[in-house]
Amino acid sequence: METTAAKRLLTISALLLAGGIALIGAPTSSAAPAPIIIAVEAPLTGSQSANGIDMYRGVKLAVDQVNAKGGVLGRTVKIIKANAKANPDLAVSVAKQVKAAGAVAVIGPYNSSVGILNLPTYIAEGIVPVQMTSTDETTGKGVTVQPKNSQISPVEISFLQDGYGYSGCPKVVMLVDPSDYTVGMADRVGKAMVCGDGAPVSRIAITPGLSDYSAQVASALALAPNILYVSTYYPEGSKIATAIAKANTTAHCFMGLANVDPAFVTAAGIPASQNCNFSGVPAAAQMPDAASYVKAYTKAFKAKPGVWGTFTYDSANILFAAMTKANSTDYAAVMKGLLATKGYAGQTGTITINPKTGNRNNVPVYILKVDKNGTFIVDPAAS
C-alpha cells in the first residue's frame, strides 16, 4: 500500500513533468552520437590538384553512400580535408592538424615524399592510415590498395625489355626528378636495364617547376638511347613529352606511373602524349570493375572521374568494413580488421591485403597509351 509521502511524491512528479521539467534520473532522449571523423590527405591545391580533387571526391562519394545507409556503427561519417600540396615541408604539420581535428583515420597521403615523413606521426597519434604512397619505404605503415614500386617495376621492366621489339638489350637513358617515388622507380628499373657492357644506365636530372625541358631532352638524346625513360610527376612529364615530340627522335618515350593524369594530356596535347607509353592504371572509366563507381561519380560531381579517386573510394570502403567488423574506431582494432581484408570486391578489382606488409596483393598495373580522344587506355599491344 502506498504511503502518504509516496503519494505526495508521485503528485509532485506528475506536476513537474506536466510543466516540462524532468527530475534527475528520469528517462530523457539521448543526443545523437558524435560523428566518426576521417581525413583525406592529398595535394588539393597546386600543380597536382587534379589528382587531389579526384581523390577527395572518391572518399566523399563513399562517405555519402555509407551515410545514406545509416553511417558506420550507427554514427555518421564526417570528412576533413588535409592539403599537403605535394610538399614534404608540410607533412608533419598537416598530420598534426588532422589529429587536432579529431580524426580517427586518414585516406592518404598520396605523395611518397610526404608519406615517408608523416606516416610515423599518424601512427604515433593513433590515426589509422589507409595510405596512397607507392614507395616501398612506407611498407608496413598502415595499409594501401594501390601499387608499390616493387609491384610496378616488374611490369615496366618486362615491357622495356620486350615491348618495343629490340633484340638483345635496348639502351635506356633516364630523365629523373628528385622525389622519393620517382628516384626509387628509376633505381629499380635502371638496375634491371644494364646492358652487357655493365655500364650503369645514364640519368639526366630534372628540376621540378621549370617551364621547359628541351635542354635536358637534348642531353639525353645526345647519348643515343633506344628508350627515354621519364620518371617524374606529370607537370614535368608533360613538358618533357612536348620536348621529345619536337625533337623528332626515333627513341621511344616511356613515362612512369606518376605521369598518368588527364592533366598530362591537356598540357602536352594528344599527339605528344600518344608518342609515349605509360605504366600505371587507367582512369576509372577504363577499369574493368568500376562501372557503378563511374556512374555514381558522374552523377554526384557532374565530372568524369580520374585515376586515383577509384582507389580512395575503395580505401574508404575497406576502412568502413574494418570498423564495422571491429565494432570500434580504435586504432588497434581497425588495423587488425584492415590487415584481415580478403577478397573484397572493389571498384579497382578484388582486394586482399597482405597481413605481413599492409600492401595489396594482385595490384592492377598495366602498360597504357593515350587514344585519339586523349584518354589513357590499356595498350592492347602490351597485354
pLDDT in tens, 7-53: 443 443 443 334 333 333 334 456 789 999 999 999 999 988 989 99
Q: Supply the mean pLDDT for the chain.
A: 91
Whether the CA torsion 34, 35, 36, 39 is positive or negative: it is: negative
> Which cell numbers in the block locate residue 40?
583525406
- 86 with 172, same domain: the answer is no
- 160 with 246, same domain: the answer is yes
- 129 with 75, same domain: the answer is yes
- 215 with 251, same domain: the answer is yes
Share of the chain above pLDDT 90, in %: 81
* CATH number of the domain that residue 77 is part of: 3.40.50.2300
Per the CB < 8 A criterion, the answer to whether 380 and 373 are in contact is no
Is residue 376 included in any domain, yes or no? Answer: no
- 233 with 322, same domain: the answer is no
Phi first, then psi: what are they for 203, rounded to 5°? -130, 145
- 260 with 155, same domain: the answer is yes
- For 162, the 3-state DSSP assignment is helix
- 197 with 153, same domain: the answer is yes
Neighbouring-strand partners of residue 378: 368
- 174 with 249, same domain: the answer is yes
- 159 with 139, same domain: the answer is no
Question: How many domains are there within the chain?
Answer: 2
Q: Which of 228, 260, 280 is the last residue of a domain?
A: 280
Q: To the nearest 5 percent, what fractions of the chain are helix, strand and coil?
A: 45, 15, 40
Residues contacting 377, CB < 8 A, separation 6+ = 282, 286, 368, 369, 370, 371
Is residue 102 included in any domain, yes or no? Answer: yes
Rounded to whole angstroms, the Cα distance separating 284 from 304 reads: 9
pLDDT in tens, 173-212: 999 999 988 999 999 999 999 988 888 999 999 999 999 9
- 234 with 268, same domain: the answer is yes
Domain that holds residue 212: 149-280
How far does the chain reach from its first CA to its final CA, in angstroms? 88
Residue type, 270: I
Rounded to whole angstroms, the Cα distance separating 260 from 307 reads: 8
Is residue 1 included in any domain, yes or no? Answer: no
Q: Residue 63: which pLDDT band, with cuts at 50, 70 and 90?
A: very high
Q: Residue 284: which pLDDT band, with cuts at 50, 70 and 90?
A: very high
Rounded to whole angstroms, the Cα distance separating 287 from 281 reads: 8
> Which cell numbers in the block locate residue 141?
605503415
Is residue 383 included in any domain, yes or no? Answer: no
**DSSP string computed for 193-238:** T--TT-PPPEEEE--TT-S--HHHHHHHHTT--SEEEEES-HHHHH
- 135 with 196, same domain: the answer is no
